[in-house]
A and B are shown apart, each in its own frame.
Chain A
Amino acid sequence: MSRTGPFPRAAPPAHPAPGGLRVLVFSHLHPAVSRGGAEIAAYQMYRALRAMPGVTAWFAAGAGARLQPPLGTHVFQPFGADEFVLGNAGYDSWLHSAQAPRFGEELRALVAELRPDVVHFHHYSGLGVEAMLQVKQAAPAARIVMTLHEYLAICHHFGQMVTRPNLDLCSRETPRDCARCFPERSENDFFLRKMYLQRFLRLVDHFIAPSRFLADRYIAWGLPAERFSVIENGQPEHGAPPVPMPPPKPLVVGFFGQLSMLKGVGLLLDAAEELRRRPPRGGRLRIEIWGDASNQPPELRAEVERRLQESRTVVGFNGPYENSEAIRLMQRCHAVLVPSIWWENSPMVIQEAFAARRPVICSDIGGMAEKVRDGVDGFHFRARSAAALAELLRGLAEEPERVLEVQERMAGVSGIGATLREVLAKYQGIALRTP
């Protein structure tokens, strides 16, 4: 038995005309079937690139579990001519490695067919880190750019950098510490995982981190600092006029998103309990929740429902919402609460709050603390402390003018247009790495 054959390779572009830029954007999932921050950011970028004159852009996403390729193939097009979905049966989410024997061949063929100048990965999960090598094999002259969205290469615990099972904050990986979180794996396994991932991530010509905090984590992990830029993902222009703050009677603080432990729902309910027992003097406070716990384990959902019921004098529960409604709903509040107990990167909810021009109350760690300046764009409280959160909220309810003052001078949102200008500038100046 023998398998041979040269890789299909892209012919060099015949005339790289000015503005004739060909960009292939990879995402781990298609936003048509999954609404996570990374895939939305990737798709926004693809749409914005397409809209630019002289740019040809394609979007290629991992199929995940919700899309199935036709039998006997990996690459398919359920969403139109310029969008591809890549099925990847047997994907190994330990090494982030594609196992299907023909996957690499089809990915190489696709890249050779599209002849991109730039391949922009918004993720490698679901595609396999080997995709970087496959791109270089099929299009040796193409630049690889990668936007990093969380800490997945560093941390096997869903890239969250919190320990397992206690969800304590973790600031850097070592094989020894990682093996403590995953006793079923050895230190050597973690060494091997890191070595494997880095072998392919080294092929990336330039990394884009939406926060400095995330860039620093990856640089400490071993990626070369000189290949990093910090560029915010950027929000599409919503075009809605600014809505003035409603009177702060009561002060309304909104929580938007998944009711998960990592997003701080437990902390929020603890703080609410505290505020119920000892309400603010001389002011009133409501916490309004938009979102749901539908993706959470049943025990957690039951617990959340029970505690919401107990705290109903302080907390209102409004159920799930559409992304397109987010800004309008935020504008009903005086501030947006982001009490995550993990580092975060550049949470979309903060960008949305900025677009809605509502101050953000957040944990004083990681990407949150970086994006929200305490006393300028919002307020920090000591991360993971329900007492500190309750104290902060009580104080703001008693002196709501503090919130109104901040709202007047907080930062504006960075739009997708600005992001794209920065990214395109990077595309031009990247030195090419050899595989």
Chain B
Amino acid sequence: MTAAALRTTQTVCMPIEIASGSRWIIDFSRVALRNLQSLNLFRGDDVLLHVIYRPETRSFVLNDCLDGNWGSECTVAAPRDGGLSHVAFELRFLATGLSVAVRGGGRLVIEDRFVLSGEVEASMPRTIALAQPLRAEEDEVLPYPAIPRDGPSGPARDACPEDRTAVAAASPAGATAALAAVQRPAIGMSLSGVLDECAFSPAVGGWLVTGWMPAELPIDGGGRLAAEVKPAEAATGDEIIIVQYPRDDIREVGHAFVLLVPCDATDAPPVPPRQIDLMVSPGVAVRLTRSPGFAMRDEAGMQRLVRDVLTTANRGAVEPLRARIERANFTGEDSFAKLGVPAHVEVDEVIPVRPGAALLFGWCLDPLGLVESIRLCCGAATSAPLEDAWFRTNRQDIVDAFARQYGVVPHDSGFIAWADAQVACDRRLFLEIRLTDGRRGLKPLPQPTRRGSAALRRVLGAASLPGHDLDRIFDRVLGAPLAELNRQRLALPPQPREDRFGTLPAAPRVSLVIPLYGRLDFMRCQLAIFSAQRMASDEIIYVLDQPERTAELVAMAHSAFGSLGMPFRVLLLGDNRGFGPASNAGLAAARGRYVMFLNSDVFPEEADWLDRLVADLECDASTGIVGPLLLFADGTVQHAGMELEPVQELSGWLFPRHPLKGRVPPAGGPRLRHWPAVTGAAMLMRRDLALELGGFDPDFAVGDFEDADLCLRAAALGLRCTVDMSVRARHLERQSQNAGSADWRHNTTLLNAWTFNRRLHPPRPTTAHGG
């Protein structure tokens, strides 16, 4: 990004004066965190300080851009806990550098850089606040102090009353500023007003508060204002919405208002607001306090009053508040249908991802362009328009059904949308459809019928995804909700039951961890092969990842042990978890010095195969993971190491590739070959290394990429991945994977590819070199 691009029409620019040793408070609101907005201090075209939140590492990044060149990044950790609520931190400009302290997060002192003093231009969106503390000793962050936008001076000069008057005169509210009592001896200036009545309405989404103030505020139709509410637990977030309306009894002295103070108090009884500081615009703050006659009202009465008020209200969020109250009182009736417009919006299936957020499968046909937006609603809360986070799918059935009625019907009228109303409530979900003529309709949604694995599979099997658009589809629509569904699926610990067969070694050399899914009969064949090999000091752990076949597997295990007399362990998982998590369950139960992750369809050829792989690790401490040469049944190469290669037709993402696959194995060449990764079908490592790495990352669903990911994480510790070409095993890898029969399997691979590529593993060489 160029430095100039940091100045946009969305940002507020103002000069500020920085004194050496001065402390500043920066507050990133939830919106700023989520949208990756930044604070920038400019002098000329140089960015002296650039601060941005980086969600993937949960840290703030500080940087500068001098003469068009970005410097190296300094990072400081953000608070680990909680969701995306606002984060405040303190900067102290020192004579020799900069000190940063994130509240609840990390601290950092940067020497010989960011040495700032004098006047700079601060540029930031309204969602980021920059202020100096009121009193030097006060540790509390003031999120929204007023900073003059047009005033002649910076904050250091705000203590002067003349300047304040000048600022007030220049502000939109200047005409009534004389009525206001200046509440704060701080930067900027403030008005005051009173709160009269208050009611809590969880359906509308918070406190409905009436009151009045001496000024008519410069608010637009959105009516949203940054606010600081006291006590803090009375509000969620840092914005209120406001409507102003004429009230006869105060016509001479001020303007009445209704506020909605968002509050999603669900657990504890809500605490009503006592004081609200509104940041009206840069330079104007309004402090609202309870009037002597302040009273609590019942919710229904307050809603009635607000509805009445909205008929005469003329400023602020009139329509938004009206819409909120309508949504809060949604009865399940399809009021969109009642509008009778020739536009169709239908949702066939809802996959709930978390309260207030869902994936929607549906179709939309709007031949006349009448629909302005479609939003998911949960109570009064709404999502962004669905089209911001959807992709279209082909719906021939819609073409067939409407071709006669409308002539030309687009083939891609279907959609899959990720919609998040950003409210943690369990209320039913519905749609709000806004038309370009200003009318609105609400539409009920079908009851969700799938969760967990079924939901994951439904989403992944829903459509064939266009390879050129994968970045957008996964970044904006599918990636985050699928990751969340997968985590929910795995949220409960596996708690496997264990059966042991035979006498196991007391202190095993290697624990072989072998998940079973589908072809359970491989277990007997593999044990038959192992029983002819030198594995008396190793323990074999089968992990059944298919709970519905537990009785069958236990019977097979008794039968195999009866036939072969080969000792082994069986872990029986309570739910189907996928290759990585099932292997991790085996790892947790393993006792060996080494752990060998193995597929059940891998059959080593020589009796001393495991001795030789162990020796490879023991001989070379720089090798972290070693695997054998894997051959197909016909003797050609299945795996001789993995490299990562961008696949252009799949958005250029990196995919693991098996060099030599399908070829006759090379006759000569080095015995040990080093690669960026080796396959998880057969990989040996020290058990303490596997534990240090945390096993396979469970974010990789079903079974793809987790092996490459583990290898890259081992490489990050400076350990190599090696294939011993002299150790051979047959791998009867499933042949049907390329058949493209099931979208869901392919899409699961794409999901894993997205997860893998977004991990931003450092690039590494992709060619093998002998060792």
Give A contacts to B, CB under 8 Å.
1-4, 7, 95, 97-105, 128, 130, 133-134, 137, 175-176, 186-188, 191-192, 195-196, 199-200, 202, 435
Contact = CB atoms under 8 A, between A and B. Distances in A.
Contacts of B531: 133
B562 A195 contact: no
B563 A103 contact: yes
B633 A7 contact: no
Nearest to A131: B563
B502 A4 contact: yes
Given A103-B562, A103-B563, A187-B633, A1 B525 contact: no
Contacts of B500: 1-3
Contacts of A128: 563
A99 to B, nearest CB: 5
B603 to A, nearest CB: 6
Q: Interface of chain B, helix or strand or loop or mixed? A: mixed
Interface string B522-535: 10110011011000
B409 to A, nearest CB: 43
Contacts of A98: 559, 563
A186 B503 CA distance: 35
A112 B248 CA distance: 109
Residue in A133, A192, A200 whose Cβ sees the most chain B Cβ within 10 Å: A192
B565 A100 contact: no
B503 A4 contact: yes
Interface string B383-422: 0000000000000000000000000000000000000000
A105 B560 CA distance: 12
A186 B528 contact: no
B730 A199 contact: no
A292 B513 CA distance: 56
Contacts of B529: 195, 199
B558 interface: yes
Given A97-B524, A186-B735, A2 B562 contact: no
B532 to A, nearest CB: 6
Given A2-B501, A192-B525, A195-B529, A101 B559 contact: yes
B603 A195 contact: yes
Contacts of B522: 192
A105 B603 contact: no
A93 to B, nearest CB: 14
A434 to B, nearest CB: 10
Residue in A100, A175, A188 whose Cβ sees the most chain B Cβ within 10 Å: A188
B528 A3 contact: no
A188 B633 contact: yes
Contact of B502 (A3, A101, A102): A3
A130 B564 contact: yes
11 contacts: A2-B500, A4-B503, A97-B563, A100-B559, A104-B563, A105-B562, A188-B601, A191-B732, A192-B732, A199-B532, A435-B532
A425 B69 CA distance: 92
A191 B729 CA distance: 13
Contact of A3 (B524, B532, B558, B732): B558
A23 B559 CA distance: 28
Nearest to B601: A188
Contacts of A192: 522, 525, 603, 732
A95 B559 CA distance: 14
B220 to A, nearest CB: 67
Contacts of A186: 735
A202 B730 CA distance: 19
Given A99-B559, A102-B562, A188-B732, A200 B528 contact: yes
B499 interface: yes
Nearest to B531: A133
B634 interface: yes
B294 interface: no
B561 A175 contact: no
A104 B633 contact: no
A195 B559 contact: no
Given A95-B524, A101-B561, 17 more contacts: A1-B499, A1-B500, A3-B501, A98-B559, A100-B559, A103-B563, A104-B565, A133-B564, A176-B634, A186-B735, A187-B634, A191-B633, A191-B730, A192-B732, A195-B529, A196-B525, A200-B528
Residue in B499, B563, B730 whose Cβ sees the most chain A Cβ within 10 Å: B563
A146 B105 CA distance: 75
A100 B558 CA distance: 9
Interface in B554-583: 555, 558-559, 561-565
Interface in B519-550: 522, 524-525, 528-529, 531-532
Nearest to A196: B525
Contacts of A133: 531, 563-565
A130 B499 contact: no
A128 B522 CA distance: 17
Given A4-B503, A7-B565, A133-B531, A195 B730 contact: yes
A196 B528 contact: yes
Nearest to B528: A199
Contacts of A99: 559
Contacts of B532: 199, 202, 435
A188 B524 CA distance: 15
Interface string B233-259: 000000000000000000000000000
Contacts of A95: 524-525
Interface in B707-764: 730, 732, 735
Contacts of A1: 499-500
Contacts of B525: 95, 192, 195-196
Interface string B638-659: 0000000000000000000000
A130 B633 contact: no
Residue in B531, B565, B730, B732 whose Cβ sees the most chain A Cβ within 10 Å: B565
B260 to A, nearest CB: 62
B49 to A, nearest CB: 62
A103 B564 CA distance: 11
Nearest to B529: A199
B489 to A, nearest CB: 28
A223 B277 CA distance: 90
A47 to B, nearest CB: 31
Contacts of B562: 100-105
Contact of A175 (B499, B603, B633): B633
Contacts of B503: 4
Interface in B623-645: 633-634
In the A-B complex, the 9 residue pairs with the smallest Cβ-Cβ separation, listed nearest first, are A191-B633, A101-B562, A101-B558, A188-B732, A130-B563, A2-B500, A104-B562, A1-B499, A104-B563
Contacts of B559: 98-101
Residue in B525, B532, B561, B562 whose Cβ sees the most chain A Cβ within 10 Å: B562
Nearest to A191: B633
B168 to A, nearest CB: 83
A244 B564 CA distance: 57
A381 to B, nearest CB: 38
A184 to B, nearest CB: 14
B745 to A, nearest CB: 18
Contacts of B555: 101
B508 to A, nearest CB: 16
A372 B188 CA distance: 117
Nearest to B566: A133
Contacts of A187: 633-634
Contacts of A202: 532
Contacts of B633: 175, 187-188, 191
A128 B528 CA distance: 13
A187 B559 CA distance: 25
Contacts of A4: 502-503
Contacts of A105: 562
A309 B601 CA distance: 56
A197 B42 CA distance: 78
A186 B730 CA distance: 15
Contacts of B563: 97-98, 103-104, 128, 130, 133-134
A3 B560 CA distance: 12
A137 B558 contact: no
